[in-house]
Amino acid sequence: MKTSNIHSSQQDLLEELESLRMQLQEAQETIEAIRTGQVDALVVQSDDGHQLYTLKSADQTYRVFIEKMTEGAVTLNHEGLILYCNSQFASMVNLPLSKVIGLSFESFIPHENRQEYEKLFDKGWEEDVKAEFTLKQDGTQVPVQLSLTTLELEEGRALSIIITDLTMQKITQQQLRDNNIQLAEINAALEVSNHDLQQFASIASHDLQEPVRKIQIFSNLMQEKCQDLSVEARRYLQKIIESSARMKTLIIDILNYSKLSANDGSMQEVNLNEIIKELSDDFELIIADRNATIIVEELPTLEANRGQIRQVFQNIISNALKFSRPDVPPVIEIQSVRLKEKSFSSAPKEDGNFYKICIRDNGIGFNEKYVHNIFSLFERLNSKDKYEGTGIGLAIAKKIIDKHNGLITAVSKEGKGAEFQIVLPISH
């Protein structure tokens, strides 16, 4: 009989325990539903019957400002006490969530900033405000932005504060300031270097040209007056004259290239048709000598540095005349098209902001794999003994086009001529 009662009591306890477990699980599921916004109201049975409890305040606070925020979020009453907060804010101040509720938010503000915070707190009840502060965290301070706005809850108005951690932003801003300082130092060093280069170019244009000029003068005098020189000596003398001429041209080209480093921003309306007409007159003798033809379609008027743009066309046309095929009269065609955007492959557009100018010849051409090389300083694809030049002309052209915010490239095949393509903005 006693044994039966013991077994009965154990069974009752087990049933009661299972019932409590089910109630706990149900409570946990209900809380989770409340927190995630799946429930808008609860019907609770009591001694007075069934009662309906709406969850407007809990839903609004938990769903919008607590569960869904990656920033810290708190809700304060008029006394500045924390009514609700999310786990992100608790993590910011390194306290359990349960211990944060009921504390004064001001307790997390450093003492020296509390007067400023009190003004912000009072203003936050009147309008939406933002300000940067620091939060106390285990003896350290975390830079944050506080965004204050009011909420209308069932129990009355409350003040919501969104807390955004600015630590990474401050680190990034400091890195940006450091980088700007470093960039300014590099720019200053570059300006000094450019100045030194221009000084060197000035020396080259005067001091270096003088001895070359004397070599040319005395070599020519020897060639004219020393009639008893042997054939071999005359050949050597001719090589000196030719080399000194190339040296003079090289010095002038280096000077012209270095001058492009100067910040010459003088721009004006430039009619490219006039430029080509001038160059045709300049090249009149070589055009006649080689029986060359220059075919020019109507070209645009652009905003540019006239002298520099003239240099570009001069260098390209000069190359087209120079690198012609033997016994084939040079033919140079120049045309343009208005573009939609700054790209060689851009579609034409009547009111576009760019022009593409193409200069095509029927000369010796070159292997297109060297297209980038030809715009490099001192780069030559042909023997200097066979074709005159310093290898600087196209490098000067590219630098000028770059300074005009344009593009330049070339399309060619060996023995099939070359086409230089230039894209320039209509205005700056």
When pLDDT is cut at 50, 70 and 90, the band that residue 422 belongs to is very high
pLDDT for residue 55: 47
407 and 425 Cβ atoms separated by less than 8 Å: no
395 and 257 Cβ atoms separated by less than 8 Å: yes
Q: State percent of the chain over pLDDT 90.
A: 16
Domain annotation covers residue 356: yes
Tokens 């969104």 label which residue? 162
Domain annotation covers residue 402: yes
pLDDT for residue 188: 86
Number of domains in the chain: 4
Q: Which residues have CB under 8 Å from 399's CB, separation 6+?
A: 257, 260
Domain annotation covers residue 157: yes
CATH number for the domain harbouring residue 385: 3.30.565.10
pLDDT for residue 350: 87
141 and 110 Cβ atoms separated by less than 8 Å: yes
Domain annotation covers residue 343: yes
Domain annotation covers residue 152: yes
In the predicted structure, residue 107 carries a pLDDT above the cut 60: yes
When pLDDT is cut at 50, 70 and 90, the band that residue 47 belongs to is low
Same domain, 194 and 214: yes
Environment class of residue 253 by beta-carbon count within 10 Å: exposed (0-12), middle (13-18) or buried (19+)? buried
Same domain, 43 and 81: no
Same domain, 49 and 59: no
CA 275 to centroid of chain Cα atoms: 35
Higher pLDDT, 307 or 80: 80
Domain annotation covers residue 419: yes
Same domain, 74 and 157: yes
Higher pLDDT, 127 or 204: 127
Same domain, 276 and 331: yes
Same domain, 318 and 229: no
pLDDT for residue 67: 58
In the predicted structure, residue 358 carries a pLDDT above the cut 90: yes
In the predicted structure, residue 46 carries a pLDDT above the cut 90: no
Least confident of 21-25, 124-128, 133-137, 408-412: 21-25
Same domain, 183 and 240: yes
Last residue of a domain, one of 31, 53, 75: 53
Same domain, 253 and 270: no
pTM over 0.85: no
Same domain, 408 and 303: yes
Higher pLDDT, 298 or 10: 298
When pLDDT is cut at 50, 70 and 90, the band that residue 240 belongs to is confident
Question: What is the spatial distance between Cα 309 and Cα 165, in angstroms, rounded to a whole number?
Answer: 54
Calculate mean pLDDT across residues 68-93: 84
In the predicted structure, residue 226 carries a pLDDT above the cut 90: no
Print the domain residue range for 221.
175-263
CATH number for the domain harbouring residue 138: 3.30.450.20
Last residue of a domain, one of 110, 144, 165: 165
Same domain, 312 and 363: yes
Three-state SS sequence of the chain: CHHHHHHHHHHHHHHHHHHHHHHHHHHHHHHHHHHCCCCCEEEEEECCEEEEEECHHHHHHHHHHHCCCCCEEEEECCCCEEEEECHHHHHHCCCCHHHHCCCEHHHHCCHHHHHHHHHHHHHHCCCCEEEEEEEEECCEEEEEEEEEEEEEECCEEEEEEEEEECHHHHHHHHHHHHHHHHHHHHHHHHHHHHHHHHHHHHHHHHHHHHHHHHHHHHHHHHHHHCCCCCHHHHHHHHHHHHHHHHHHHHHHHHHHHHHCCCCCCCCEEEEHHHHHHHHHHHCHHHHHHCCCEEEECCCCEEEECHHHHHHHHHHHHHHHHHCCCCCCCCEEEEEEEEECCCCCCCCECCCCCEEEEEEEECCCCCCHHHCCHHHCCCCCCCCCCCCCCCCCHHHHHHHHHHHCCCEEEEEECCCCCEEEEEEEECCC
Last residue of a domain, one of 217, 242, 263: 263
Q: Which residues have CB under 8 Å from 88's CB, separation 6+?
A: 69, 70, 71, 72, 73
In the predicted structure, residue 386 carries a pLDDT above the cut 50: no
Same domain, 84 and 63: yes
Least confident of 63-67, 90-94, 118-122, 289-293: 63-67
Same domain, 296 and 333: yes
Reported for 107-110, long-range contacts at CB under 8 A and 24+ positions apart, including other chains, are 108/135, 108/136, 109/133, 109/134, 109/135, 109/136, 110/134, 110/136, 110/141
Domain annotation covers residue 170: no
When pLDDT is cut at 50, 70 and 90, the band that residue 424 belongs to is very high
In the predicted structure, residue 368 carries a pLDDT above the cut 70: yes
Mean pLDDT across the chain: 79
